[in-house]
């Protein structure tokens, strides 16, 4: 039996801690549908309407087809500022606070 990766098959959301963002843009390269750099040089998540969500802690749903790209972004981020959590209970499954 194949074991599921954390978060697979569950509703997930992603947010960025701009206080830790280094502005490298790796996230926007991996998943431009989800992440974008703003004029301040920091990365933000985009809402379903493609608008940047600039409020601190603003989260957006992770589309299932982009899960791998979003997870790779969190793993490769030099600022360790990308957090992917379950919508159901808020537990972080990928990112610096994941267990």
Domain ranges of the chain: 12-94
Per-residue pLDDT tens digits for 71-97: 999 999 999 999 999 999 999 999 999
* CA 34 – CA 54 distance, rounded (Å): 13
pLDDT exceeding 70 applies to what percent of the chain? 91
pTM exceeds 0.75 for this model? yes
pLDDT of 1: 38
Query: Residue 84 forms beta bridges with which residues?
Result: 14, 94
Is pLDDT of 6 > 70? Answer: no
Fold of 12-94: Alpha-Beta Plaits (3.30.70)
The 3-state DSSP class for residue 68 equals helix
């Amino acid at each position: 039996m194949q074991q599921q990766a954390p978060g697979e098959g569950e509703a997930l959301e992603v947010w960025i801690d701009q206080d830790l963002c280094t502005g490298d843009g790796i996230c926007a390269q991996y998943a431009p549908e989800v992440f974008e750099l703003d004029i301040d040089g920091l990365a933000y998540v985009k809402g379903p309407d493609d608008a940047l969500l600039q409020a601190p802690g603003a989260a957006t749903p992770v589309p299932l087809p982009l899960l791998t790209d979003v997870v790779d972004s969190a793993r490769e981020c030099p600022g360790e500022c990308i957090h992917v959590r379950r919508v159901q209970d808020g537990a972080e499954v990928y990112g610096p606070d994941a267990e």
